[in-house]
Amino acid sequence: MESKKEEVRRKHIRLHMEGALTARDKVGVQDFVLLDAYTSETAFLDNLRKRFSENLIYTYIGTLLVSVNPYQELGIYTVSQMELYQGVNFFELPPHVYAIADNAYRMMCSELNNHFILISGESGAGKTEAFKKILQYFAVTCPMTESLQIARDRLLLSNPVLEAFGNAKTLRNDNSSRFGKYMDIQFDFKGVPVGGHIISYLIEKSRVVYQNQGERNFHIFYQLLEGGEEELLAYLGLERDHQLYKYLSQNLFGIIASVLHLGNICFEENQQGCATIPDTHEIKWIAKLLGVHPWVLLEALTHRKIEAKTEEVICPLTPELSAYARDAMAKAVYGRTFTWLVNKINSSLVNKDFTGKTVIGLLDIYGFEVFDKNGFEQFCINYCNEKLQQLLIERTLKAEQAEYEMEGIEWEPIQYFNNKIICDLVEERHKGIISILDEECIRPGPATDLSFLERLEEKVGKHAHFQTRKLAGPKSRKRIGWMEFRLFHYAGEVTYCTKGFLEKNNDLLYRHLKEVLCRSRNRILKECFLVAELENRRRPPTVGTQFKNSLSSLLEILISKEPSYIRCIKPNERKEPNKFDDFLVRHQVKYLGLMEHLRVRRAGFAYRRKYEHFLQRYKSLCPDTWPHWHGRPAEGVERLIKYIGYKPEEYKLGRTKIFIRFPRTLFATEDAFEFSKHQLVARIQGTYKGCLERRAYLRKRQAAITLEAHWRGALARKEAEKRKWAVQIIRKFIKGFINRNKPLCPDNEEFIVFVRKNYILNLRDHVPKNLLDKCWLKPPGILANASELLRKMCTRNLVRRYCRGITAERKAMMQQKVVTSEIFRDKKDGYAESLNQPFANSRIDEGDISPKVLQLISSEKIQYGVPVIKYDRKGFKTRQRQLILTQKAAYVVELAKIKQKIEYSMLQGVSTSSLRDGILVLHVSREDNKHKGDAVLWCEHVFEAVTKLVMLVQKENIVTVVQGVSVRTKS
């Protein structure tokens, strides 16, 4: 009897293990490693969307945390939540940023080694907020003494200060970090935070003097003008209205008041072409604030000191070079002041106790960036992300392989080592580009962004992941500009514009200005600009070299620590809650390398758990392990999984853990556990609820019988009234139909009203939609006049709507069509077919015209361009050309060369044939030899091209349509 019950119970367990996963289908899985379709990007996004729709913004990929910015307050960052995650096993609770922080902290305390948490994602994805939440978690949950609260408070308060000086409003984020930040939090042997250290990377100094449309400068200057006391503003020579300052009027602002004054300096050109400053009011304020002599500063802004062996020569600057010097000074002052601020914060966080400490590093750094226009900053940022992705792949593979080796399980994901080869190729390419950029910056002779691009084509052109317009194939050539190059990153292809690369990489401050700043009486500037710098005659390293070196040092720091990863995702561009943009999220999933990380984690087994934890959770599924197992945990797990029916290919038993290959196996076990846990309770509840429902049913049935009897009587009476009313209506209708042609009277009044209403309602669905639709619903005889009036009103309304719908652009095109009609109607074959073909503003994009040609005709605005074929006057050989029309002349262009220029004043006429062809001849005056005679062209859009030319030339009867096949030309 007992064996039969046990067999039934086992069948129930196995049946439930194969049941539907309703709840899981609704909210997804909390660990992507447990996805069945782990290679499918669509399944990955679907799981992320499900969780986001339920306000579950965190999901694991193993120990990596994926965070989706909710753009709303969810109430999941309270002190009670912090206490809930404190000291709990990593996978015991739902995914959370607190779990990452607590796991790193506990591993650091137990193993006495250093950790770091890498937070990455694009601007607006929530990196800085995640950084703050981790700091707050450590501040609340770590053991604390009164003497160490100062260090904790300084760690927390350093973040708002750095945000004020290093964050700004961008198109994608109102509080975007414009620098990379790495913070080490130091803990003593008790796990108490005792100090810290901050390293900043690549502060965006160019934002001080230039921002994109709709963006702002760093927060600190707006805070200074809006929140500064009146006495402070008066001392700094500032007024509260930020529109008064040139930098701020362009949405720019500096770090100190002197930078604001510096932005208002205007330069003029004297008779010798040199720069002068007519108004020295701002110079005096800057000199006062910086502690320098006004005339020394004025000379340094308008002159440059050149050292030639034993002599020094002072050369005047042009207004353009003076403006460059002014902006370079503003960027240098702000950049070095920011570095000074970071150093001051570090000095306040330093702990002078040199006994052994462990650290947890927090890295908040830019994510992979792909904009419509990508420049030098995006090149550096994406290089950094390539290196960090390489580190992630290597560390993940290493950790996975180490765990499998330790557990004695075979695992060789050889295919995933291809990623390391790709990353190595990418690193080699980036280093090569930075080296060439540095060579262009320091080599003698004129160096331009175009020459830099040519050097890239020469040196890096054979690289598989590098393309330019010159090197690309025919299909992709049009998508690359003349001044652009394309790199193939691990996250996809990115096109970079080389404009500004040399200037931003140089970032030079003239020595004359550096001398002024080094001799400043301002205490802060003395620390920022050391006099010892003037003794060093070597050229300072370029920005690219500095960034490459700082990135190398950062990687050395990270390699020495145990990693944790947080990948932040922005769900939509408008920062709206509950909106999930699939295309945007898919793009971020790709460039964050999440699918690649998932594939590495799933290369072997989807789930692994220590025997003790697995047995403790699922022991109720087997009678041999329930309620207690007294043997070794490994033996208990083996007994358990055989009882519930695991197949040999579904699992492996390691030295300390069980490894489960398929997520469905784990899900089935979890569902069976839920079934077993609630089975007894469900029986008790079922019996009790059945008794209650039976009593309630009997009462309800008796009440229903009584109610039904009364209700049926009411329905019958209501039905009789309806029939009586229907008979009366039918009689009235018949009587009205019989008297329909008589004058309006009580006998036919209701019928006529019905006919009118019915016709109007039918007419509503048959009203013509446009003027060409001549159909009209036939009216009954009594409504013939009204129908005719309605038809006229409808026609008039359609005419009025059509006239109002003609746009200015269409009107202009119709005017051009009128000119075409005057020239070609009834004269040239194919004219009738061209009527329905709209004219274009131009058949050639400006990007398809060579920059050299644009430079040659830069004084004239291009009005129209079209590809043509030119016939040589001798031999009539065909040549591919471009016909470009400006306000003054027509140009026949071959790639980067103007083959013929025909001024409209020398144009005697234009000839076309009457046949269905595209040949036209531009007749040029014989007196002017420089026009090379008539131009014989073939154009696919001949009607359009001739019309545009006639409207530009503005001469009457200039076009001749020749009957037959011959068109005369002048030699």
Task: Read off the tokens for 411.
Answer: 């695992």
Contact between 656 and 611 (Cβ < 8 Å): yes
Going by the DSSP 8-state scheme, the letter that residue 242 receives in this structure is G
Residues 6 or more apart from 193 whose CB is under 8 A from it? Answer: 138, 139, 142, 144, 148, 151, 152, 155, 185, 186, 187
Residue with tokens 């556990």: 673
User: How are beta strands 935-938 and 862-871 bridged, if at all?
Assistant: antiparallel
How far lies 63's CA from each of 75, 81, 529, 607, 700, in Å?
24, 20, 45, 12, 56
Residues in the chain, overall count: 971
Residue 124 annotated as binding site = yes
Phi-psi domain of 939 (left: phi exceeds 0; alpha: psi -120 through 50; beta: other): beta
Residue 408 annotated as binding site = no
User: Is 369 considered catalytic here?
Assistant: yes
Residue with tokens 């591993």: 107
Residues 6 or more apart from 86 whose CB is under 8 A from it? Answer: 102, 141
Contact between 846 and 863 (Cβ < 8 Å): no
Contact between 412 and 509 (Cβ < 8 Å): no
User: How are beta strands 115-120 and 358-364 bridged, if at all?
Assistant: parallel
User: Is 820 considered catalytic here?
Assistant: no
Task: Read off the tokens for 260.
Answer: 């604001």
Contact between 330 and 265 (Cβ < 8 Å): no
Distance, CA of 449 to CA of 380 (rounded, Å): 17
User: Is 166 considered catalytic here?
Assistant: no
Catalytic residue among 28, 195, 361, 367: 367
User: Is 405 considered catalytic here?
Assistant: no
DSSP characters over 105-151 = HHHHHHH---EEEEEE-STTSSHHHHHHHHHHHHHHHS---GGGHHH
Helix (H, G, I), strand (E, B) or coil at 859: coil
Distance, CA of 337 to CA of 332 (rounded, Å): 8
Task: Read off the tokens for 521.
Answer: 């009486």
Residue 196 annotated as binding site = no
Catalytic residue among 59, 114, 177, 748: 177
Residue 713 annotated as binding site = no
User: Is 367 considered catalytic here?
Assistant: yes
Catalytic residue among 59, 123, 158, 495: 123
Contact between 182 and 557 (Cβ < 8 Å): yes
Residue 234 annotated as binding site = no
Going by the DSSP 8-state scheme, the letter that residue 31 receives in this structure is B
Phi-psi domain of 326 (left: phi exceeds 0; alpha: psi -120 through 50; beta: other): alpha
Phi-psi domain of 436 (left: phi exceeds 0; alpha: psi -120 through 50; beta: other): alpha
Distance, CA of 487 to CA of 426 (rounded, Å): 9
User: Is 173 considered catalytic here?
Assistant: yes
Distance, CA of 164 to CA of 219 (rounded, Å): 5
Going by the DSSP 8-state scheme, the letter that residue 649 receives in this structure is G
Distance, CA of 626 to CA of 640 (rounded, Å): 10
Task: Read off the tokens for 370.
Answer: 């792909």
Residue 121 annotated as binding site = yes
CA angle 236, 240, 246 (to 5 degrees): 80
Distance, CA of 110 to CA of 191 (rounded, Å): 10
Catalytic residue among 114, 176, 522, 912: 176
DSSP characters over 721-749 = HHHHHHHHHHHHHHHHHHTTTSPS-TTTH
Catalytic residue among 369, 386, 484, 596: 369
Distance, CA of 100 to CA of 580 (rounded, Å): 25
Helix (H, G, I), strand (E, B) or coil at 316: strand
746 exposure class (CB count in 10 Å sphere: 0-12, 13-18, 19+): exposed
CA nearest neighbour of 157 among 123, 125, 198, 191: 198
Catalytic residue among 28, 62, 124, 544: 124
Catalytic residue among 128, 251, 385, 542: 128
User: Is 159 considered catalytic here?
Assistant: no
User: Is 408 considered catalytic here?
Assistant: no
Longest dimension (CA), the chain: 124
Q: Spell out the alpha helix ranges (H) of 237-318.
A: 246-249, 257-263, 281-290, 294-302
Task: Read off the tokens for 937.
Answer: 């062209």
Which residues fall in the annotated binding site for ATP? Answer: 121-128
Annotated catalytic residues are 123-124, 128, 173, 176-177, 367, 369
Which residues fall in the annotated binding site? Answer: 121-128
